[in-house]
Amino acid sequence: MSRRSLAGEFLNAPNAITLTRIAMIPVFLWFTFHESRVDSFIAAIVYAVTGATDFLDGYVARKKNLVTVIGKFLDPLADKLIVMAALVMLVHLGRVQAWVVIVIMAREFIVTGLRTIAMSEGIVIAAGREGKNKTAFQVASITFLLLHYTYPIDAFAFTFELDANRVGTWLLYVSLFFSVTSAWTYFAGFVRAVYGPGARESARPASAATRDLGAGGSGA
């Protein structure tokens, strides 16, 4: 068996993509903090690209068979850091209410804790559709909240004012709904797996698990 190299794992393609995504956090935060229409537009673009490439590192890792231990740690960490950094800055700027961020953070702590316990018991709990919806709406909502300003739209014979902050706020509430429902779905699956009929018989050592808990990353 070949010996693992920490430097080698850090420098492989998928982990390099993940580290680049993390490095983009201070970039969109800087443009967000220095409020102007141009800076807000740049911040929104940088965040949208960073959030939309969530799938890219995992895809490259599977395609090139470069799944690593450090990658399994970095990928979900990057997802959570990107979202939480943006939301904390938006609270600071008064664009998001603090209680919304508290609920979102509590959800992440709860699901992460359940995943850790389930993994230690050798239990696999698949991610529900709610988690994927949560991620999609979070990326969209934060992008609009970073965009912030009102923009005139004239396309396809329609002329209107796009209030990016209002659109982002409503999308954030939709993502909050999916955050709560996905956490409940995951918790219910955890209870069934641990305490349901035949739970002990179906449990197996964590080392034998063939699927990542929650399908990995922010989709859980």
Tokens linked to 61: 């890792």
The mean pLDDT value for 145-156 works out to: 82
List the domain boundaries for the chain.
6-219
For the segment 114-140, what is each residue's pLDDT rounded down to a tens digit?
887 877 777 766 666 777 788 889 999
The mean pLDDT value for 160-173 works out to: 90
**94 has pLDDT over 60:** yes
Are residues 90 and 142 in contact, defined by beta-carbon separation less than 8 angstroms?
A: yes
For the segment 36-78, what is each residue's pLDDT rounded down to a tens digit?
889 999 999 999 988 877 777 667 767 767 677 777 777 788 8
Return the pLDDT at 79. Answer: 86
Give DSSP secondary structure letters for 114-183.
Answer: HHHHHHHTT---PPPHHHHHHHHHHHHHHHHHHH-SEEEEEETTEEEEEEHHHHHHHHHHHHHHHHHHHH
Kindly give, in sequence order, each residue whose CB lies less than 8 Å from that of residue 98, ignoring residues fewer than 6 positions away: 91
Return the pLDDT at 213. Answer: 36
CATH architecture of the domain formed by 6-219: Up-down Bundle (1.20)
Return the pLDDT at 198. Answer: 61
Alpha carbon distances (Å) from 197 to 117, 128, 191: 19, 21, 11
**208 has pLDDT over 50:** no
